[in-house]
Amino acid sequence: MTGFLASVDNLQDAITVSEQGADIIDLKDPNQGALGGLSIDSIHAIVDHLWEKSIVSATVGDLDADVSLILEKIGQVADTGVDYVKVGMFSQEHIDKCLPTFEYHARRGVKIIAVLFADTEFDVERTIKKCKKAHLAGVMLDTAGKNAGSLLLHRPVNELSQFIHLAKNHRLLTGLAGSLRQEDIATLLPVAPDYIGFRTALCKDLKRTAAICSQATIQIRNLIPSQSSIAQQG
């Protein structure tokens, strides 16, 4: 079944989306780019507050294809106690040079999600195989340019289905995100990603850098069937 991922940048918004039933609370700073990273102290504070209440992921930031820097940031973010560490694959150099080295942390038990971008070119099958070989926990397809349209403008549904199918065949956790709106949920649920991620659609006035709107969060939660609601229906 598909879960609801909500991206936030502060403790109060993290509490809001947790209370409204988000399945993963994703920590990133929208003012710092597509996968802008929060400070380690901020991540620590949110993880400590949501300990045993919610699953938490966090990004390492929009980093250049610098192996040493990315490995260092993965370690720092993992040490905060997050459940998943998300790392952006912004270029082919990231995929070819950096991604294979993540095995170092993955073999130590760090659950790493490689974030790929629908508005860049990459070989889907080859990249997913690299993720599996590096023992990553999962892959997510997002958009790097937040002003250039949503995920569905960059990739048709059949390509999204292929991405999810290939990743699941390699037993990788899957996610879709990228300036998605409430109306996109009905289109994406049949694709069956493990998670659908939202930021802009959760914010006041649909402004990506604004605070989280509780009502918008409730509306999206209601459009993505939760495990508890399915159990009740059964």
CA–CA distance, 8 with 197 (Å, rounded to integer): 11
Residue 146 and residue 151: Cα distance in Å, rounded? 10
Write out the H or E segment, with its range, that includes residue 162. Answer: helix 157-169
Per-residue pLDDT of the chain (234 residues; tens, 9 = 90+): 899 999 999 999 999 999 999 999 999 999 999 999 999 999 999 999 998 899 999 999 999 999 999 999 999 999 999 999 999 999 999 999 999 999 999 999 999 999 999 999 999 999 999 999 999 999 999 999 877 789 999 999 999 999 999 999 999 999 999 999 999 999 999 999 999 999 999 999 999 999 999 999 999 999 998 754 333 333
Q: Which domains does the chain have, with CATH numbers?
A: 3-233 (3.20.20.380)
List the helix and strand counts (H, then E) for the chain.
Answer: 11, 8
57: closest CA among 155, 167, 194, 220? 194
Show which residues are catalytic: 28, 86
* Both tokens assigned to 96: 């070819």
pLDDT for the residue numbered 225: 87
pLDDT score recorded for residue 93: 98
Cα gap 153→185, rounded to integer Å? 14
Cα Rg, the chain, nearest whole Å: 16
**Two tokens at 184?**
């996109």
Spatial separation of the C-alpha atoms in residues 125 and 142, rounded to whole Å: 16
Residues in a beta bridge with 24 = 5, 55
